[in-house]
Amino acid sequence: MKIAIPVKDENLSFFPNAGHTPKFAVYSMTGSGMFRSFKLEEVKNNPRSDINHEEPEEEHSCDHGHDDADHIEQHNKMGRVLSGCNYIVVKKACKNTAKSFTSQGIKLVKYNGESFQTDSILKEVSAKFI
């Protein structure tokens, strides 16, 4: 099973806004119950070309038309780059971001905690990975 989580950089600090994250860390999960473990497989760049990856916006709220075809395609790039993942952990995701993942069969798992450490977050939400 593969789980993606939005991160700021290779230090794997959780990035709250899934649609504007600079990168995605992809983990594989093994085991079950309290014996689940996570192994980092790779870190992928967010393929969107309509955002500034050098100055990511954690609190960005979209104010554009959500039916703009070019903008929707930018979101869809994220789903395609994460195809093969079963889940993505998010704190915040707009409608188009969520749809980009679900259209690829990736289920969203909401994280409401305060940690920015991906290992801690994955353990905290691991019961939702079935």
- What does pLDDT average to over the chain? 89
Q: Quick: pLDDT tens for 86-106.
A: 999 999 998 999 999 999 999
Q: Which residue has the tokens 């990168």?
A: 23
C-alpha span between 23 and 96 (Å, rounded):
18
4 neighbors 25 (Cβ within 8 angstroms): yes
pLDDT-above-70 percentage for the chain: 88
Q: Quick: pLDDT tens for 40-54.
A: 999 999 999 887 766
Question: In this structure, what DSSP letter does residue 106 have?
Answer: P
Per-residue model confidence (pLDDT) at position 81: 97
The structural domain count of the chain equals 1
Closest CA to 1 of 128, 117, 99: 128
Radius of gyration (C-alpha) of the chain in whole angstroms = 14
pTM of whole model > 0.85? Answer: yes
C-alpha span between 67 and 109 (Å, rounded):
24
In terms of residue numbers, what domain contains 78?
2-128
CATH number at residue 40: 3.30.420.130
| The pLDDT of residue 1 is above 70 | yes
